[in-house]
Structure 1
Amino acid sequence: MTQKQLTEKAIDLLKELISIPSFSKEEDKTAEAIQNWFTFFSIPFTRENNNVYAKNKFWNDGKPTLLLNSHHDTVKPNQGYTKDPFDPHIEDGKLYGLGSNDAGGCLVSLLATFTHFYANENLSHNILMVASAEEENAGKNSLRGLLPNLPKIDVALVGEPTLMNLAIAEKGLLVFDAVVKGTPSHAAHPNEDNAIYNTIKVLEWFKNYTFNKTSEVLGEVKLTVTQINAGNQHNVVPSQVDLVLDVRVNDKYTNQEIATILKSEAPCELKERSLRLNSSSIDKNHALVQSGIALGRTTYGSPTLSDQAALTCQSLKLGPGDSTRSHSANEYIYIHEIEEGIDLYIEILEGFLAP
Structure 2
Amino acid sequence: MTDINVLYQQAITLLQQLIATPSFSKEEERTADLLEQFFHTHGIKPHRKGNNLWMYNQHFDAVKPTILLNSHHDTVKPNSGYTRDPYDAKVEDGKLYGLGSNDAGGCLVSLIAAFLYFNREPNLKYNLCLAATAEEEISGANGIESIIPELGKIDFAIVGEPTQMHLAIAERGLMVLDCVAHGKAGHAARDEGDNAIYKAMAAIEWFRTYHFPKESELFGPVKMSVTVINAGSQHNVVPATCSFVVDVRVPDGYSNEEVLATIHQNVSCEVTPRSTRLKSSSIDKDHPIVKAGIALGKNTYGSPTMSDQALMDFTSIKIGPGDSARSHMADEFVYVNEIKEGIEHYVAMLEKIV
Please classify the TM superposition score into its range, dividing by the shorter chain length: over 0.9
The equivalent of 1:230 in structure 2 is: 231
Residue 21 of structure 1 pairs with residue 18 of structure 2: no
Worse-superposed segment, 204-213 or 226-235: 226-235
The equivalent of 1:213 in structure 2 is: 214
Q: How many residues align?
A: 353
Distance 2:335 2:231 in 1: 46
1:141-160 deviation line (CA, Å, top 9, x unaligned): 21111011112111111111
Is contact 2:207–2:225 with CA below 8 Å preserved after alignment? yes
- For 1:63, give the aligned amino acid: K
Distance 1:312 1:253 in 2: 14
Worse-superposed segment, 88-97 or 150-159: 88-97
Q: What does residue range 1-355 of structure 1 map to in structure 2 within 5 Å? A: 2-185=3-186, 193-196=194-197, 198-231=199-232, 238-353=239-354
Compared CA separation, residues 93 and 243, structure 1 to 2 (3 A): farther
Distance 1:231 1:323 in 2: 41
Shift in Å, 1:238: 3.8
- For 2:172, give the aligned amino acid: K
Shift in Å, 1:232: 5.1
Compared CA separation, residues 194 and 328, structure 1 to 2 (3 A): farther
Is contact 2:194–2:238 with CA below 8 Å preserved after alignment? no
Distance 2:43 2:152 in 1: 22
Shift in Å, 1:327: 2.6
Distance 2:270 2:220 in 1: 27
- For 1:207, give the aligned amino acid: R
Worse-superposed segment, 152-161 or 270-279: 270-279
Compared CA separation, residues 334 and 185, structure 1 to 2 (3 A): farther
Is contact 1:179–1:242 with CA below 8 Å preserved after alignment? yes
Distance 2:224 2:80 in 1: 28
Distance 1:204 1:325 in 2: 37
- For 2:266, give the aligned amino acid: E
Please state whether the residue corresponding to 1:157 is helix, strand or coil.
Answer: strand
Distance 1:84 1:207 in 2: 45
Worse-superposed segment, 26-35 or 212-221: 212-221
Compared CA separation, residues 90 and 235, structure 1 to 2 (3 A): farther
1:206-257 deviation line (CA, Å, top 9, x unaligned): 2222211011233221112222233455665543222121111112111110
TM-score (norm 1): 0.92
Worse-superposed segment, 266-275 or 41-50: 266-275
Distance 1:320 1:211 in 2: 35
Is contact 2:193–2:238 with CA below 8 Å preserved after alignment? no
Worse-superposed segment, 269-278 or 83-92: 83-92
Distance 2:10 2:107 in 1: 14
Please state whether the residue corresponding to 1:84 is helix, strand or coil.
Answer: coil
Worse-superposed segment, 107-116 or 304-313: 304-313
Shift in Å, 1:323: 1.7
Distance 2:92 2:225 in 1: 38
Is contact 2:56–2:129 with CA below 8 Å preserved after alignment? yes
Worse-superposed segment, 232-241 or 138-147: 232-241
Runs of at least 5 residues in structure 2 that lack an aligned partner in the other structure: none
Distance 2:195 2:175 in 1: 28
Runs of at least 5 residues in structure 1 that lack an aligned partner in the other structure: none
Please state whether the residue corresponding to 1:136 is helix, strand or coil.
Answer: helix
- For 1:106, give the aligned amino acid: C
Shift in Å, 1:12: 1.6
Distance 1:104 1:80 in 2: 20
Shift in Å, 1:193: 4.1
Shift in Å, 1:68: 0.3
Worse-superposed segment, 282-291 or 95-104: 95-104
Please state whether the residue corresponding to 1:108 is helix, strand or coil.
Answer: helix
Please state whether the residue corresponding to 1:42 is helix, strand or coil.
Answer: coil
TM-score (norm 2): 0.92
Shift in Å, 1:325: 2.2
- For 1:103, give the aligned amino acid: A
Is contact 2:166–2:300 with CA below 8 Å preserved after alignment? yes
Is contact 2:71–2:133 with CA below 8 Å preserved after alignment? yes
Q: CA RMSD in A?
A: 2.1
Please state whether the residue corresponding to 2:10 is helix, strand or coil.
Answer: helix
Is contact 2:186–2:193 with CA below 8 Å preserved after alignment? no
Sequence identity percentage: 54
Is contact 2:231–2:241 with CA below 8 Å preserved after alignment? yes
Shift in Å, 1:35: 0.9
- For 2:270, give the aligned amino acid: E
Please state whether the residue corresponding to 1:352 is helix, strand or coil.
Answer: coil
Is contact 1:283–1:314 with CA below 8 Å preserved after alignment? no
